[in-house]
Amino acid sequence: MTTAFLPTSPLPSQGDRNAYYILTGDYPYGSKHFEAGNMCFLSERSFRKYISGERSLSVFWRVTMVEDNSLITINSEVLQPLNDELVVFLLAVNNPRERLNCFLERHGLDAAVTARPGQQVMVDLDQHLFPGIIRYVGKIVSGSSSSVLAPFYFGVELQGDCEGKGRTNGTYNDREFFKCKPNSGLFLPFNKIQFIPALGGEAMKQEVKPEAAALVPVKVGDVVGFYLDDVFTQGIVMAVYKERNDWIVKVCSEEEGATDVFREIPMDSVVKEGLLSPAPETDGDPGFHKLTKRERSESGENLEGSQVTLDVNSVVQISLDKGNSVTGTIRWVGYLPKTEYKTAGVELDGEMGITDGEWQGVRYFQCPPKRGLFVKLKSCQPDMRFLAEGYPPLYPSPLSVQKSPPVVGNFPPLRDGTAVRVLKGPMKGIQGHCNSCYMDAALFSLFSCTSVLDSMLFKPALPPDGAVQKILRDEIVNPLRRNGFVAASSVMHLRHQLTEKGQCSSFATSEKDPEEFLNLIMHHILGIEPLLTLQSGGHKEQECYCYQIFMDKQEDLVVPNVQQLVEHSFISSDLKLVEIPSCFILQMPRFGKEYKMFSKIIPSLELDITDLLLDSPRECFVCGAVATQECSACFRDKKFADTGLKQYCDSCCKQAHSHYQRRAHKPSKLHIPEEFRDQTCSASLRIPREKLELFAVLCIETSHYVSFVKYGPEKEDWMFFDSMADRHGDENGFNIPMVTLCPEVARYLELPVAALAMEQPRDMKGVAKRLFCDAYMYMYQSKKMALYK
C-alpha cells in the first residue's frame, strides 16, 4: 500500500528564508510537465504552516518552481528536502534527470561540498579526463531572482598538456574570479568534475608556484618511472608540491588502473619518461616480484618457469598420470603430518578427487565429496586459461588475471563519461570462464552503473554468510567500479562459495539461469528483503525477487513494448503491486533458451506502474478525475488505447458501459485514499504518476548471456557487455571480456512500431538486434524508493 509521508526539512536559512526541495518523480500540472530533478521552494511562513498546526496533515503544498518561478500545488510525496549547501551546487546542473542522479547517488555531491581551492581534480571534457586544480568555488552570476539562491560553479585551471584546452583565463562576463594562462581555465558544475581524495598532511603541502616550475624536473601530466615494492612501475604525475623541505610527486600508477589511487613519492625517486632506462631484465614479466630460489621452490616454481606465487584461492592445474590433467582452486596450503614438503589442498572443478577436504581424520578445508585432492604445492601450476604465454600487452598483466587482490572501500557506480572511460574496451567488465556468462551478465547489470541493490554489499550478514558478501563486494563490485575489470578467478571464488551454500555441486561448473543465481544469493544467503510484494484477487500477499511475465498469445501485439507486456500479465493474473519496488526485475515471456513468444520486444525506458499499485489513487482514463472503478474487460477492447489499464470515474464508467458491446462487463470498485475522496468529480486534480527507470537488460542467444546497460540520461547512452567476446589461445587459453558503446540503439527506439516490425534482424546496425530480439530479463529501478529500502 502506498502511504503519504510528510517531507521534513531543516529550517530555512536566515539569509534566504526559503526551504528547498527536489522532485523525485515527474509531476504534471495543467499544461506543464515538471520532470523529476526539478527544484522548488516555499517561504519560511508557508513552511511553518505545513509542518505545524491545522495544515500539518496536508499532502498538497503550494510551492514556487525554480525552473520558471511559477506557483503550483504539488503532492509532497514527490519532494525530498535540501539544505542550502546542496542547493547551490545542484542548481548548476542543467539537466533535471542528471541533477536527480547526482542527488540520489551523493558521492560527487558530498565531495563538492567539501572541495576547496588548491585541490587536485580531474575534469570531464568530451568523455576524456584531464588533470586540473580548483582555483575558485562560488557563484559567477546572480540568482534568477532575489528569492532564489545563485548556483555555485568550480573555476578550474587545467594542468600539464591540457593547458590551452580551456575557454577562459579565469574571467567570466568581464569579472575576474581567478588568474591563469589564456584558454587554460574552465567554469564547471560539480558533475563534470572528479574530486581526488585529499591525502594526509595537506596543510603541510605547498603547491608549485609558476616561478619555481623551471626548477622542478617533472610537472603534472608527465609520465615517470619509479620502484613500487621492488617492482619497476610507470605512472602519470597528478601533482607536484613541497612538503616542509622536500619535493613530493603524487603519481597515479598505471598498474593501479584508476585515477583515485595515488602514490606520494619523493622527487629524487622518480625518473621522467624521456630519461627512463630499459626495464631491468628478469626471468619473466618485469612487473613480477623476483622471488628468491627458496621462495620459488616453496611455491612450486622452477627457475625457468613462470614467476607467479601460488596461494589460497589461486586457480591451478595439476598433471596426473598418462598425460591427464585436472583444474581447481587451492583451498589450503601447509604441511601435513610426517611430510617435509609444502602441500596444497585443492578443490577440483569436477568429481575427480578422493576426499571432501579431510586427511587422516583431520579436516583441512571443506568441499563436496570426491572434489578434494592433496598434492605437493610444487606439482601445481597456474591454470593456463588465466595465465598464458604471450599475453597481449594491451591487456592487464597475467598476475592480475591469475588473482585479483581485494579492493576494500565504498566505490560509487560509474556514470556518464566516467563509465565510458573506466569500462569501455577489451579486457573490461567481468571475465567469463566455464559457463559463467549468466552470472557475469547479471553482476555487471546490477552493479556497474547503479546503486539500487548496494544493500546486498553492506547489509549486516550473519557470520556464515559474511564470506559471500565480502567476495561480492571486495573481489567483484569494487574492482569493477574502480578498475573496470574483474578476473574470472574472483567470480570462480564466488561460485565455489555458492556451491557450498546452495548445496548444489554444479554451481561452479554448469550453466544456470540468472534468476536461479539471484534467488540463491539474495534470499538464501544474504537474506535481503524480497524486492516485490504482490497480491492476487484480494488473496494473501506473495513476495518474490523476480517477476515472470505469463500471458496468452496476443495476436494484436506484433511488436509489444515492456509496458504492454506487464499490463497484460497483471490483468491476466489479477495482480497488483502492494508497494512501489525499489528494483523491479522482469523475465520476458519465453520458455527455455529456444522458444520466445515475440520475435521483437521494445524496451520501455520508463515503466509506469501507477495503475498497477494496490489502493493507490488512480486517474479516470477518459476525463482525468479520480477513478472509482476498474474494468479488466475494457482493457482488451480494441476500440480503446493499446496501453494503460482502463479505470473510470462513476459518470464515465456509466457512459462507457452503456454501449451494447460492453453491457456485460463487470467493473470492480477501487479503493480511494482518504485525501482523494472529496475530489472524485474533479478533473483539475492531477494524480501523480509512479514511474520506474530502465537501467539494464539481459539477453540470451544460443545459451550465451550478454547484457545492455544504460549508463547515462541520454537516449544514446547504452553500453553492451559480453564476458566471452573474444578468446586468447585455444584449449589452454582464456576468454577476453569486452564492453562496447552502442548508441545505435537510440535510432531503433525512435522508430514507429510498424517500421521496427519490418526491420530484418540481420540488417540491424551494431548489436541492437540482440537488445530487441533476444531480451530475457529487464531491470527497472526507483531511486526514490531506494532511499528508504
Calpha distance 19→50 (Å, rounded)? 11
**What is the Cα–Cα distance from 540 to 680, expressed in whole angstroms?**
29
Is 437 considered catalytic here?
Answer: yes
Is residue 151 within 8 Å of residue 139, measured between CB atoms?
Answer: yes
- Residue 231 CA to residue 702 CA, distance in Å, equals 44
Can you list the positions of beta strands (E) in 666-732?
668-669, 691-701, 704-710, 718-728
The single residue listed with the C-alpha cell 515472470 is 548
Element at 760 (helix H, strand E): none
> What residues contact 132, with CB distance under 8 A and at least 6 apart?
120, 121, 122, 123, 156, 157, 158, 159, 162, 186
* DSSP H or E run through 180: none
Residue with cell 454501449: 659
- In the 8-state DSSP scheme, what is residue 645? -
Q: Looking at 433, 493, 568, 704, which residue is catalytic?
A: 704
The question of whether 704 is a catalytic residue gets the answer: yes
What is the SS3 assignment for 322?
A: helix
**CA nearest 80: which of 9, 4, 3?**
9
d(CA 389, CA 604): 46
Q: Give the CA distances from residue 99 to residues 89, 94, 105, in Å, rounded to whole numbers and listed in that order.
A: 10, 7, 10
Burial class (CB in 10 A: 0-12, 13-18, 19+), 673: middle
How far is it, in rounded angstroms, from Cα 507 to Cα 497? 9
Sheet containing 325-334: which strands, arranged edge to edge? 372-376, 343-348, 325-334, 315-319, 380-382
| The pairing of beta strand 263-266 with beta strand 246-253 | antiparallel
What is the C-alpha separation between 611 and 620, in angstroms, rounded? 10
Q: Tell me how far apart the alpha carbons of residues 317 and 348 are, in angstroms, rounded to a whole number.
A: 9
Residue that is written with C-alpha cell 513494448 in the block: 561
Catalytic residue among 437, 583, 634, 652: 437
Query: What is d(CA 745, CA 680) in angstroms, rounded to the nearest whole number?
Result: 42
Q: Give the chain's length.
A: 789
Nearest to 247, CA basis, from 273, 224, 279, 231: 224
In whole angstroms, give the CA distance from residue 680 to residue 349.
65
Handedness of CA 693, 696, 701, 705 (dihedral sign): negative
Helix (H) or strand (E) holding 346: strand 343-348
Catalytic residues, by residue number, are 437, 704
